[in-house]
């Protein structure tokens, strides 16, 4: 095992009962929030009591989530149609304010609906980067590509990357010079890669290298950094299902198998050394020899 994973480390199931858990996000008060997108729910797991409660029963089909530097929850809301909501999600990025209100940050680009915001991260200035794929029914897509966008502090929405097939998980380095993106196209022969981009002098992004390629395997989803900017990315199915750990240059650093198909992960706990993993119906955690790198940490 990698030194990042203690020899006696055990993956512990702390919650089950979701349809497909996603978007774990650690707050400042000992809670891990996570979404159940199709069921329109956000749950909150209390790290002290071990209890899980519904945090929102009307999440607008929240998927990927993260707390910003001010402790506000920012969520990506899907655009896919669900049996409980045949009209589909709201195709938006939203923020839960401290006063209990919700701010709609982005739902259209060039006058057309976003496909279905999936996951997000922040840069040092507080700008939001998010991915906008569409899984499932694509008959009502209005955008011409599945892109990556940036929301500036003044609310301006800019498409920054448009050369991926189906962008999903996203991370931005501390110096804001490297952007890491999961390309997860579930179609036959589709891309299932983790790609590193680098910034240019004019502020654009170009592909640097492919860090992981899952080939015909299930592919990857959400991910998180530790403080050394190693990447913990969920992916695979069956024997390959779990958290795959690679350095920012693509060096293999370890693997944490999960008994269910994983969707996303984050660090939490008083020392930010517990990795929480959303995997299908459940939420798991494992104590590591690593400390998470979160926006508010």
* Mean pLDDT confidence for 233-250: 97
Average pLDDT over residues 201-206: 92
With a cut of 80, say whether residue 2 has pLDDT above it. no
* Over residues 230-254, mean pLDDT: 97
In the chain, the percentage of residues whose pLDDT exceeds 90 is 90
Q: Give the pLDDT of residue 89.
A: 72
pLDDT band at 177 (very low <50, low <70, confident <90, very high): very high
Least confidently predicted of 6-20, 70-84, 257-271: 70-84
Up-side HSE of residue 131: CA atoms within 13 Å toward CB? 29
- In the chain, domain spans: 12-293
Closest C-alpha among 53, 54, 50 to residue 14: 50
Which pLDDT does position 232 carry in this prediction? 98
User: CB count, 10 Å around CB of 82?
Assistant: 17
Cα 259 to Cα 264: distance, rounded to the nearest angstrom: 14
pLDDT at 85: 59
Q: Which pLDDT score is estimated for 86?
A: 56
Transcribe 20-50 into DSSP letters.
SEEEEEE-SSSEEEEEEGGGTEEEEEETTT-
The residue with tokens 């010079």 is: 177
CA distance 115 to 165: 13
| pLDDT at site 207 | 96
80, pLDDT greater than 80: no
* pLDDT at 258 (0 to 100): 98
Confidence class for position 1, pLDDT limits 50, 70, 90: very low
pLDDT > 70 in the chain, percent: 96
**CATH, domain 12-293, list 2.60.40.10, 3.40.50.300, 2.120.10.30, 3.40.120.10:** 2.120.10.30
Query: Per-residue pLDDT for 214 more than 60?
Result: yes
């Amino acid at each position: 095992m990698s030194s990042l994973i203690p020899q006696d480390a055990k993956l512990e199931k702390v919650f089950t009962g979701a349809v497909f858990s996603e978007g774990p996000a650690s707050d400042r008060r000992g809670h891990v929030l996570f979404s159940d997108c199709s069921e329109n729910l956000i749950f909150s797991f209390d790290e002290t009591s071990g209890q899980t409660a519904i945090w929102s029963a009307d999440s607008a089909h929240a998927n990927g989530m993260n707390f910003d530097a001010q402790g506000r929850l920012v969520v990506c809301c899907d655009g896919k149609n669900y049996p409980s909501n045949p009209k589909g999600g709201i195709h938006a990025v939203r923020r839960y304010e401290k006063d209990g209100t919700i701010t709609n940050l982005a739902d259209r680009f060039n006058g057309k609906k976003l496909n279905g915001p999936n996951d997000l991260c922040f840069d040092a200035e507080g700008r939001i980067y998010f991915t906008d794929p569409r899984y499932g029914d694509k008959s009502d897509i209005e955008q011409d590509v599945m892109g990556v966008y940036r929301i500036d502090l003044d609310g301006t929405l800019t498409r920054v990357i448009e050369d991926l097939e189906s962008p999903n998980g996203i991370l931005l380095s501390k110096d804001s010079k490297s952007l890491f993106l999961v390309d997860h196209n579930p179609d036959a022969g589709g891309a299932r890669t983790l790609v590193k981009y680098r910034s240019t002098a004019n502020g654009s992004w170009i592909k640097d290298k492919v860090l992981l390629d899952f080939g015909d395997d299930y592919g990857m989803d959400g991910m998180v950094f530790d403080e050394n900017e190693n990447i913990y990315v969920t992916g695979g199915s069956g024997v390959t299902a779990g958290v795959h750990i690679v350095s920012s240059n693509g060096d293999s650093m370890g693997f944490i198998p999960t008994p269910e198909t994983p969707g996303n992960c984050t660090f939490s706990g008083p020392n930010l050394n517990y990795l929480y993993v959303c995997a299908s119906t459940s939420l798991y955690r494992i104590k590591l020899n690593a400390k998470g790198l979160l926006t508010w940490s």
